[in-house]
Structure 1
Amino acid sequence: MKQKFSTLLIIAVAMLVLAACGTKEGAKSGSDTSSDGGDNKVYVVGTEATFAPFESIDANGNIVGIDVDVLNAIADEVGIQVEWRNIGWDAVFSTINNKETDIGGSGITITEDRKKTFDFTEPYYESKLLIVVPSNSKVKSLDELKDKKIAVQINATGHVAAKKLQGETSTNILAFESQPFAIQEMLNGNADAVIGDNAVVYEYMKANPDKKLKVIEDAAFEKEYYGFMVRKGNTELLDKLNEGLQKIKDNGKLKEITNSEFWKE
């Protein structure tokens, strides 16, 4: 009886081993579930969700906006999954390098300085800086802000423009975590003007029609282009994103989402 039980036990173990081997081979023949870029890998996207219309939080707590729609459309085209996390502007950059996130998506302007540390997709949106002042302000140009207090989003291109105008160490430059907060600080009387991205400025004014604001365009501001950001050297992910981006350019989805087709100029 004991010998018969041992024989049965050996057979049972052998069947389990064979079953385990079959499961492993099945996984190989299906979708790649490894952590090195397989179809089922979830790529984490870091954003700062107070940058409407590109990203904001809706009534249900979801991150929504142009960037979300564009990247989700790209992901659908190339068969990858993305997960959005609202982590704050500075963290969008630091978490890429720390490998806590895979993609930066937050209306990020492609600049030569940023390209030294990160890789960017091809552009998906054209933007331009604007000056925002109270409606009763007498300011008419960027040059008139040389000795005035300027509120900006920290480390954004508006911040760069303000430092270019006033100097790197100017105490008249007030840097805040978000562009809407910078505008509110100006309205509170703590700054004379704001320098920020055009679409975000107009979205703020649309959402706050009671705020008495005036927009100034200045020829000193050049066109800017947004791209999705990845870790330097992550060519596998970058190629996937560019492939998907090209597809939604070609099929008209990008134009539908952004209401823009600057790349065809």
Structure 2
Amino acid sequence: MLRILSTSALAFAVSIAPLTSASADGAIKIGIDASYKPFAYVDANGEMAGFEIDLINAVCTEIKVQCELSNVPWDGIFTALETGTIDMIGTTVTKTKVRLEKYDASRMIYRVGFGFLVPKGADLSKGVDGLKGQSIGTIVGTQSYYDFIKGVLGPDTDIRGYDTADAAVLDLDAGRIAAFQSDNLQLEQAYVSTGEYKLAAEPSFDPKYVGEGRAWFFRKASPELVGKIDKGLDALIASGKVDELGLKYFNTKLVSQ
């Protein structure tokens, strides 16, 4: 059900005429940023893998549709959606008021908290307050992350944007930033689990920052496509498949209600 397109194939797709919905053969074109382990990443065999890949595959199978999946960098993924290069963003994105005014979204799939990753030897005697006045890394262009950092550490915080989490953690290791801010699932499973890092404090689930949970996004006025995807998601949540994937990739059942 799921066809994986290479980055070069996507580049070709960008040059052709925009799509109005699904492609001519009925396939749903889905873009996903595969640089966000364990959500989505490129494995040792050069294939995309991860929670989001498995979930998309399961939904497409459930609703019996053909899906074409392309690896689209985060900084261009909404442009790809707007221009019709893809029909759906398969990276699970935080549902915020601003985004919901501009795009359609699926039902909420799961919730995350926001946290700060620091080296295991970092002094946490002052908690998160100890990070005030220092440089903080996060994923570039993710407004909810920027708002969280400024809300917790102050509006003048030096925020440094990175294209990938691994690039930010390299700077964390080198001492160029004091912490890397992201969602708790990624931080805990990709980094804390190695024993080399820890969280500066318990993750925050304040809806002011984390929004209404995470979902898939579509162009405005896409009720038919959203309805199909929601039908598949509802079935997988009811069957326990989403919790199964949560346990596989995050060692926890995901909050999906």
Q: Per the shorter chain, which TM-score range?
A: 0.7 to 0.9
Among 243, 249, 262, the residue aligned to 2:231: 243
Alignment pair present for 1:176 and 2:162: yes
Q: Deviations over 1:221-245 (max 9, x none)?
A: 4264221111122111111110111
CA distance in 2, matches of 1:194, 1:86: 24
2:9 paired residue number: none
Q: Deviations over 1:125-167 (max 9, x none)?
A: 2211111112222244333333111000112232331233456
1:23 paired residue number: none
1:98 paired residue number: 83
2:15 paired residue number: none
Gaps of 5+ in 2: 1-19, 248-252
Counterparts in 2 of 1:80 and 1:233: CA distance versus 1, 3 Å: same
Among 195, 201, 217, the residue aligned to 1:217: 201
2:8 paired residue number: none
2:256 paired residue number: 263
Give % identity.
24
Gaps of 5+ in 1: 1-34
RMSD: 2.5
TM-score (norm 2): 0.79
Counterparts in 2 of 1:37 and 1:191: CA distance versus 1, 3 Å: closer
Contact kept, 8 Å, 1:47 with 1:105, in 2: the verdict is yes
Contact kept, 8 Å, 2:115 with 2:203, in 1: the verdict is no
Q: Deviations over 1:150-209 (max 9, x none)?
A: 0001122323312334566x47110111222212211121101111111111232267x3
Contact kept, 8 Å, 1:185 with 1:191, in 2: the verdict is yes
CA distance in 1, matches of 2:202, 2:192: 21
Contact kept, 8 Å, 2:103 with 2:219, in 1: the verdict is yes
Q: Computing the radius of gyration over CA atoms, which structure comes out larger, 1 or 2?
A: 1
Q: Match for 1:90: what amino acid?
A: D
Contact kept, 8 Å, 1:63 with 1:84, in 2: the verdict is no
Contact kept, 8 Å, 2:23 with 2:29, in 1: the verdict is no
Among 169, 181, 187, the residue aligned to 1:195: 181
Counterparts in 2 of 1:201 and 1:186: CA distance versus 1, 3 Å: same
Q: How do residues 23-42 of structure 1 correspond to structure 2 at under 5 angstroms? A: 37=22, 40-42=25-27
Q: How do residues 75-90 of structure 1 correspond to structure 2 at under 5 angstroms? A: 75-90=60-75
1:45 paired residue number: 30
Contact kept, 8 Å, 1:78 with 1:244, in 2: the verdict is yes
CA distance in 2, matches of 1:119, 1:36: 13
Q: Match for 1:215: what amino acid?
A: L
TM-score (norm 1): 0.77
